[in-house]
Amino acid sequence: VDTNSKRLTIAIQKSGRLSKESIKLLEACGVKFTLHESRLLAHSNNQPIDLLRVRDDDIPGLVMDGVVDLGLVGENVLEEVRLERVATELPAEVTRLRSLEFGQCRLSLAVPKEDAYQGVQDLAGKRIATTYPYLLQDYLKKQGVNASTAILTGSVEVAPRVGLADAICDLVSTGATLEANGLVEKDVIFTSQAQLIQRPEPLNADKQAMVDQLLPRLDGVQKARESKYIMLHAPRKALEQVSALLPGAEDPTILPLSHTDELVAVHVVSTETLFWETMEELKAIGCSSILVLPIEKMMG
């Protein structure tokens, strides 16, 4: 590892559920890339940043070993690798910089739907198939349950049907895969979303400066995603009611309209979703031309 390098290296998943969002987020922060399908390394066109595109399982270790500076990875994989490395006495520290609000999923215990499952205690002495043996055993230990694991890297959900296991512990987002395999989700043992992590050793000044620029941009992108710009025409006498109806909207801009004194234009940034119900209420108190626009970037 060249610790004096001025180029910041970021590991992201090469192809999978986190890839698109990871690249989208970096691009929204002003980091541009031209990606070639076969290449492991991609240089940014406009910043001294290199992307290392790998399997998600490799990302926490690369960051913990200081091989890359930053990584974008699911908390599930991060925690699994951390527990495994603690058990095998390898470096397991990372600095968590941000939760990224994508890649949401949960790691759950599921059993065949005909099972009379009452609780995790029922799994004592049974075998559970999983890709996450450390997270699973950590949970079982905390629950005081002794069960064995069958470690599979894929097709975990078919294990009970073919007699490999009595239950499974797998990632769930909608539950459709479980249902298709005759399984029912019982206990959520871990909830996860993508994380931005940094290697534990301090970065050199050049790299730190880049991270210091990247983080406020990332916050700006995330804040913008949650916010809406709302414009509407409101009766001057209903302004207080209008403010009360607009969620998270402080300091609206009030502008006169050229053709009337009774109505004013209200422009406001709202930090919450504006529901159809609220728009209907606004209309009912005399508002018109109600527009809700997405915001691309924000800076305080």
Should residue 56 be labelled a site residue for Mg ion when binding is judged by CB under 5 A?
A: yes
- Residue 108 makes contact with ligand ATP by CB under 6 A: no
Q: What number of helices (H) and strands (E) belong to the chain?
A: 8, 15
CB of 69 to ligand ATP, least distance (A): 20
Name which of 231, 220, 235 is nearest 279 in CA terms.
231
Contact between 84 and Mg ion (CB under 5 A)? no
Torsion sign, CA atoms 220, 225, 226, 230: positive
Interacting residue with ligand ATP among 45, 146, 173, 191 (CB under 6 A): 173
Beta carbon of residue 172, minimum distance to Mg ion (angstroms, whole number): 16
By the rule CB under 6 A, 17 interacts with ligand ATP = yes
Query: Does the footprint of ligand ATP cover residue 74 (CB under 6 A)?
Result: yes
Confirm or reject binding of residue 170 to Mg ion (CB under 5 A).
no
Nearest CB to ligand ATP, comparing residues 177 and 243? 177
Residue 35's CB is within 10 A of a number of other CB atoms, namely 12
Of 16-24, 27-35, 115-123, 237-245, the window that binds ligand ATP (rule: CB under 6 A) is 16-24
Nearest distance in Å: CB 75, ligand ATP: 7
Q: Count residues near Mg ion (CB under 5 A).
A: 2
Q: Which does 103 bind (CB under 5 to 8 A by kind): ligand ATP, Mg ion, none?
A: ligand ATP
Between 86 and 125, how does the x/- string for binding to Mg ion read (CB under 5 A)?
A: ----------------------------------------
Do residues 195 and 99 make contact, with C-beta atoms less than 8 angstroms apart? yes
Between 144 and 154, CB nearer to Mg ion:
154
The DSSP H or E segment spanning 277 is helix 276-284
Strands (E) in the chain, as ranges, are 8-13, 41-43, 49-54, 70-74, 95-99, 105-112, 127-130, 148-151, 167-172, 183-192, 194-198, 228-235, 253-257, 260-270, 288-294
By CB under 6 A, residue 263 contacts ligand ATP: no
Contact string 36-55 vs ligand ATP (x = CB under 6 A): -------------------x
- Least distance from C-beta 220 to ligand ATP, angstroms? 24
Helix axes 19-28, 205-226, angle to 10 degrees: 100
Angle at 236 between CA 232 and CA 237, to 5 degrees: 125
- Rounded CA-CA distance 63/71 in Å is 6
Report the first-to-last Cα separation within the chain, whole angstroms.
Answer: 37
* Residue 103 touches ligand ATP, criterion: CB under 6 A: yes
For 258, residues 6+ apart whose C-beta sits below 8 A from its C-beta are none
**Shortest Cβ contact with ligand ATP: which residue?**
74
Applying CB under 6 A, which residues contact ligand ATP? Answer: 13, 16-18, 55-57, 74, 76-77, 103, 105, 171, 173, 192
